[in-house]
Homo-oligomer: A and B are copies of this chain.
């Protein structure tokens, strides 16, 4: 099992259904989605034309014929009301200052009876062994920087109230718990090291520039995080997936 399988294995759209993927970025999820539902038709949009171009290239490399791409803003979607059978949105709400308004815009283009699927992480769900306050402070930098940019890195736990607040029915949240210890070397490499620690390490310059942490504290924190990927280490993280229906 990979992270992609953990998150996407239960998303399958019927033949002929028209699915909006909102905020496709460079197409990391698009490729999985479109492969898993080869007879559904996807329209994948992103606010960044450069990302859309990269996603298009990724879909071409993957030999996908069931996706069309276009630049579009979630808050002013160029689609008719109730024109999609299903909507899919993954790792997008965490970046938006107004997630409920975004969900309302997505609901508007969804047909009654159609589903919305949302996937988000939650950095506050992270815990690990050996424990380390220094390691935790580096994660907190990521959370703080995302908040400063208007996002919310702890949004995963909120999917249920957010979808209810938007008026969706039959909101079903299913957490996807990631547990990694040395008996799962592919997860140690693929998740703990190359996904999570790489993501935290990636904000080093911004965290130091913002004065969130001193250089020495940062170095110790990252070293301690790396120990959680060691022979005695354990790393835990939770993604949240919600499926809800438009009444």
Contacts and interface: CB of A to CB of B under 8 A. Distances in A.
Given A127-B122, A234-B158, A179 B183 contact: no
A234 B232 CA distance: 31
A6 B101 CA distance: 37
A177 interface: yes
A161 B125 contact: no
A171 B181 CA distance: 10
Interface in A172-191: 172-175, 177, 179, 181-183
Contacts of A127: 122, 124-125, 157
Interface residues of A, number: 29
A129 interface: yes
A234 B177 contact: no
A234 B129 contact: no
- Chain B CB within 10 A, most for which of A161, A174, A183: A161
Copies in the complex: 2
Interface of A: 122, 124-125, 127-129, 131, 154, 157-158, 160-161, 164-165, 171-175, 177, 179, 181-183, 232-234, 236, 238
Given A129-B158, A173-B179, A173-B183, 18 more contacts: A124-B127, A125-B127, A125-B236, A129-B157, A129-B161, A157-B234, A158-B234, A160-B183, A160-B234, A161-B181, A164-B232, A165-B232, A173-B181, A173-B234, A174-B179, A175-B177, A175-B179, A177-B238
25 contacts: A122-B127, A124-B131, A125-B236, A128-B157, A129-B157, A129-B158, A131-B154, A157-B234, A157-B236, A158-B234, A160-B232, A161-B181, A161-B233, A161-B234, A164-B232, A165-B232, A172-B183, A173-B181, A173-B183, A173-B234, A174-B179, A175-B177, A175-B236, A177-B177, A236-B238
